[in-house]
Amino acid sequence: MQPERRERFLSGLNTLMAEMPFTIQASVIRKEALRAQYKTPHHPYHLSMEFGLERIMRFLEGAGNDQGGRVTHVIVESRGKLEDAELELEFRRICNGSNYRQRRFPMEIIFASKHVNCSGLQLADLVARPIGRYVMDPTQPNRAWDLIEPKLFRSPQGNIQGWGLKCFP
């Protein structure tokens, strides 16, 4: 791609991201720290999903949303038959009460192939790397983070840590 076309594309994408109304719930697992801290750590992908589902539930029940009792469909990228089966089992375990609230989450999982070009999954892919880069080194310049950060869910006091961004451990 020519440099000027690339810049136009990125500028348009940045404008679209800034103007789109959406809220981000992100969880980051520091895998090396997880292995160093726990003798037999939980699967990092499953931990990340648990933290994400807990925060989504908090968001759905939050002020003005009034969605806590409705079924929410969670779309995840299909990773293969075995991986999908393991993930679905973990999803159902979390939603059936094995979560920090010890209560049922009214959520259903939907697997989508990468070939479907699901806009939500594409958006998740776009925001994941800049969030990871920010967590790894918050002092590094990160223009994408600057666009993403205002979209993160916040506590009533405006904090993102533990609300729109969960980092563990």
Query: Model confidence over 142-151: pLDDT tens digits?
Result: 999 999 999 9
CB 75 within 8 A of CB 55: no
Sign of CA dihedral 108, 114, 116, 119: positive
* Sequence-distant (≥ 6) Cβ neighbours of residue 151 within 8 angstroms: 17, 22, 23, 24, 127, 164
Look at residue 63 in the predicted model and tell me its pLDDT.
Answer: 67
pTM score above 0.85: yes
Q: From 151, 110, 109, select the one nearest 127 (Cα to Cα).
A: 151
Query: Model confidence over 98-122: pLDDT tens digits?
Result: 999 999 999 999 999 988 989 899 9
Residue 105 and residue 121: Cα distance in Å, rounded? 22
Look at residue 61 in the predicted model and tell me its pLDDT.
Answer: 87
Residue 41 and residue 62: Cα distance in Å, rounded? 31
CB 41 within 8 A of CB 34: yes
pLDDT higher than 90, residue 140: yes
CB 117 within 8 A of CB 125: no
Buried b (16+ CB within 10 A) or exposed e, 103-125: eebebebeeeeeeeebeebeeee
Distance of CA 19 to the CA centre of its chain: 19
Q: Where are the domains of the chain?
A: 21-156
The dihedral over CA atoms of 151, 152, 156, 159, expressed in degrees to the nearest 10, equals -120
Query: Model confidence over 63-99: pLDDT tens digits?
Result: 667 787 889 999 999 999 999 999 999 999 999 999 9
Distance of CA 145 to the CA centre of its chain: 14
Q: Which tokens hold the place of 68?
A: 């806590």
Q: What is the mean pLDDT of residues 30-51?
A: 96
